[in-house]
Structure 1
Amino acid sequence: MTVKTTHLGGTASDVVVGRVAHGLMTMHLRATELPDEVCFASIKAGVDRLPSGVKMILNSGDFYSSTMGLQNVEMLGRFYAKYPEYADKTFLSVKGSVDVTAGVKPDCSIENMRKSVINIAKALGTHKKMDLFQPARVDKTMSIEEIMNNLVVLLKEGHFAHIGLSECRAETLRRAHAVHPVTAAEIEVSLTAYEAETKQVIATANELGIAVLGYSPVGHAMLTGKIQSVADLPENDWRRHFERFQADNLQHNLSITSIIANIAAQKGATQAQVAIAWVASLGQHVIPLPGSSASERTLENCAAGDVVLSAEEIKTLNAFAEAGAVKGARYGGAQEAALWG
């Protein structure tokens, strides 16, 4: 089977990437961080299945750890030191510019963003430079024009090659792109997170030639069929704090996802692959961004990019997504308030 590919947008429109990206958050934002060899194997599994000249998008953050520290980026520094040949095979996106002392509060001041990118560069070491930098959330105390101007300053200083945004509204994306081309907008896209603003961002990005990185395409594992109750989540699992994973909400949400299981059984695919393939069906510029910390899961996720859904299957899944029958906000509390900047 031919491995499907696509292009990034903005100033990276010439970069060919795998149809499915690889989120690294779960390697370190967990109670017990994984050994390097496990993380390395997971990364290599996704990269090695791609043909020559095609890059794998790796998505990290300078707060991806149980202590909101640089552990995930530091792991990448060790990875590239051990496997320097993988530097050119990967397109590395890193999120930052948040104040972790204040509950991951966005701070897009030039001082904080410069501090963020310098710390990321130090953690990465000399074998790999950050390809794309994204403020993890849009700082709502500033105009997007001011934020973009700050990012352009840092771009010209050589800290990274391309500019991205995360959790931005369509209007914000359009205004940002008018200041400087945006390569990618990272937003949550899944069968259980298909809001009106989600559709508008996808449409605006398509119009402007911007890639969309659709994170959590399997609904934080809710759509995989591997979670049957709250008891399946570890006691200290961060999802226990999300409204959709509260006991009553979760049971309802799991009860309405049988349609995904039915399609998966008919296709000989996993539920996760169907969910990821649906996100990819939203446009060639929409790149699913599932997370993975194990090589077998990485391979399963990446193979979803080659799953072809029929017109009837897409119609059925679209109807499910449009119904918006999921109970509970995506996150709730302060994290919910930081969405759609």
Structure 2
Amino acid sequence: MTIKDETFPSSSHTFFNRYHKQPKEHKISASIKPMNMSYLNPKTVHLIGIPGLEHVQFWIGFPFLAVCIVAILGNIILLIIIPAERSLHQPMYIFLAVLAATDIGLCAAIAPKMFAIFWFRSYSMAFDACLAQLFFIHALQCMESGILLAMAFDRYIAICDPLRHTSILTPSVLGRLMGVVAVRAAVLVGLLPVLIRRLHVFHSVRIAHSYCEHMAVVKLAAEDTRVNKICGLFVGFSILGFDMILILISYGLIFQAVFRLPQKEARLKAFNTCTAHIFVFLEFYILAFFSFFSHRVGHVAPPTHILLSTIYLLLPPALNPVVYGVKNMVIRKRVAQIFLLNHGSQQ
């Protein structure tokens, strides 16, 4: 087995020069498996995009671009409207503003390199930059999960204990909740690139993905990766799994309280306040666990897995502002005012 320090295989001339400098027993091994190479501490990796669909990646990039534009514009509008509108200075909308900032960060972490691969064939990426992208993508995912949990907690208090809602969710409590969500994501996800850094020998530097994902990078290693896989499972279940269970419990208690209300109108109004949260919750966790398990089960075709994994990261940021904006009259009116003012100024 030939250990290479470079990122990609060099010319056959360099390979045979190295071959002739090896001891006799190494020559015999190389002659038996001349293509069995490994890479020692690679400096760059090679993202190939969507394996099997390389010939249409250029066109696949355009619908993804449309989704990114909707996500960025929609979340920027939320970040403009929520601080400016005093009636929206409530816990639910503060959480929504944090969610909007998180979604913008997620698009910024994924989109530039993905479009560079699709449109400009810029496949190479520094290994450290790959680990940084891996950290930010997974940390922002985990932050989004924590924010959805905080929003479910807010709905639970608002419906089950409305008289104490403002006294429980004070500004200081909201700040501490968001701090815990951010620190938890940074600390737990920060373990993943640190553990990858302890790996030195890789059997390949070609990542079959359009962005650096934890298991996609771990699968390149030619060493024992059991610790990495266990840590990935621990992070996934301690954040996504834990949050999902608590959200399900919260909505179970909410529905129990809603069905106890004596008036049908009151039940419909209470249920209506949760529909947007339920839609976003189902959309986020169904796609999240599909992506999480498909890397480990391995029965999903690579193009399907990578397409759905990318959709899972980009679709929620695009849908969240639409779902919450449509449900809230104040946000709808302010959005209409923004576009009417822009239209009037253009005329």
User: Taking structure 2 as the reference length, what is the TM-score of the superposition?
Assistant: 0.23
Q: Which has the higher strand share?
A: 1
Q: Which has the higher helix share?
A: 2
Higher relative contact order structure (alpha carbons within 8 Å, sequence separation ≥ 6)? 2
User: Taking structure 1 as the reference length, what is the TM-score of the superposition?
Assistant: 0.23
